[in-house]
Copies of this chain bind each other. A is one copy, B any other.
Amino acid sequence: MRSQETVLFANEAFYNAFARSDFPAMDALWARDTHVICIHPGWHALTTREQIMESWRQMFEAGTTPVTCRSPEVFITGDVAFVVCYEQLADAVLVATNAFRRHDDAWHMVHHQAGPTRIRPSPVAAADGGKTRIN
């Protein structure tokens, strides 16, 4: 499988875990062998794995989030892949960056940041199934 497809699958797995409040799946996604960063909308930056997993645990306990990933674009630079996408929520759209680090042919999450955007992805862009660029 090509790297960009593997990264898109990892990104999809992240949003599936997010939407289903699936803590074990979320926990399995995040890297254990390097530093990790997570910035939820409006929060301060979480920069330890313990803080990040505790944040997901709290969010999942508060209820499920109807989140859908729209228009993902993959940019691979060396052993790090950036995915830029839009998070469609019930009443808002966020713009997000997810970064993954390659380790033993697997991609694990090392960074997530989502924040508000005034702009919605176009239906055309959303329907393209994801774009990929590799350096």
Residues of A within 8 A of B (CB): 33-35, 37, 39, 41-45, 47, 73, 75, 77-80, 82, 84, 95, 97, 99, 101, 110-111, 113-119, 121, 133, 135
Contact = CB atoms under 8 A, between A and B. Distances in A.
Copy count, this protein chain: 2
A97 B95 contact: no
Given A35-B82, A45-B73, 15 more contacts: A41-B115, A42-B116, A43-B95, A44-B117, A45-B84, A45-B97, A47-B73, A78-B79, A78-B80, A79-B79, A79-B80, A82-B110, A82-B111, A97-B113, A114-B115
B75 A97 contact: no
24 contacts: A34-B77, A34-B135, A35-B75, A35-B133, A35-B135, A37-B75, A39-B95, A39-B97, A39-B115, A42-B116, A42-B117, A43-B95, A45-B84, A45-B95, A47-B73, A47-B75, A47-B133, A77-B80, A77-B101, A82-B111, A97-B97, A97-B111, A115-B116, A116-B116
Contacts of A45: 73, 84, 95, 97
